[in-house]
Each structure stands twice: as structure tokens, then as C-alpha cells.
Amino acid sequence: MRWLMGGQVYDVSTGSFRTADIGIAHGRIATVGSGARREHADDTIDATGLWLLPGLIDCHVHLTLPTDAGDPAASANRSDAAITLYAAGAAARTLHAGITTVRDVGGWNYVEMAVRDAVNSGS
């Protein structure tokens, strides 16, 4: 198990932040507590002074729509390959911003579905 040690987490039961250790197993939060047993850790990360948050959700994205879409005709003439590359980059930028789940509410020629399938397969 991987442990994030000493980070700040929000405790919804008290409405305040507290210092905690978070255990992650198989890519998911498995336990939250304090005084993690390091001898059972595969990996430890010192999170002292850092905020620890679960992945965020964005329920309205357009992965295939460039943010600088000033010329609609130019955007409409992009190839599916170019749109796919842009969408994959947009998905990566979204993930690096801490958003781990998105709902794409309008893409192009099912390109966003191909990106989803590639992400799910680990490509």
C-alpha cells in the first residue's frame, strides 16, 4: 500500500481540517487515519504541509473544442485525427488539474468516446 503521510484533509463530520495519513491501494483511497504503520507500506510520500483531496469531477466539458476557437470555420475543417490529438491533450490537462472524472456534453464524430476508451484501456 502507498501512504501519503501527514497531509491536511477535510473532515466532513467536524467541518474542519486535520492532519492525516491516507493509504492508497489499487489506485483508490483505502484508509484515512493517523499513525500509519510504515512497515506495511510499499511506498511513503511525505505530504506535510500539503492539502490532500480526492479527484474532482467536472460535469460539463467539451474535450474536442479548443479554448481558442476564434474561427469556427477553421475548427470545423480540422481532421478527426487532429481533433483526437487535441482531445487527448485536453484530457491530460484536465487530469493534471486534479479533475479525474468528466462528463463530455458534446464532442465531434465520437472522438471523445475514442479518447475515453483509450484512457480506460491504459493506452
Domain range summary for the chain, segments of one domain joined by +: 2-46, 56-121
Please report which confidence band the pLDDT of residue 28 belongs to, taking 50, 70 and 90 as the band edges: confident
Cα separation of 6 and 33, whole Å? 10
Which of 24, 30, 59 shows the shortest CA–CA distance to 42? 24
Select the more confidently predicted residue: 37 or 1. 1
Count, residues in the chain: 123
Grid coordinates standing for 98? Answer: 486534479
Residue corresponding to grid cell 485536453 = 90
Q: What is the mean pLDDT of the chain?
A: 88
Residue 73 is which amino acid?
Answer: A
pLDDT tens-digit map of 31-73: 888 876 666 678 899 999 999 988 899 999 999 988 766 677 7
Grid coordinates standing for 17? Answer: 481540517
Count each helix (H run) and each strand (E run) in the chain, helices first.
3, 6
* Per-residue pLDDT at 109: 92
Q: What is the DSSP string of 110-121?
A: THHHHHHHHHHH
Question: Residue 8 above 90 pLDDT?
Answer: yes
What mean pLDDT do residues 94-119 have? 93
Question: Residue 30 above 80 pLDDT?
Answer: yes
Residue 40: burial class (beta carbons within 10 Å; 0-12, 13-18, 19+):
exposed
Grid coordinates standing for 117? Answer: 476508451
pTM (2 d.p.): 0.69
Residue corresponding to grid cell 487532429 = 82
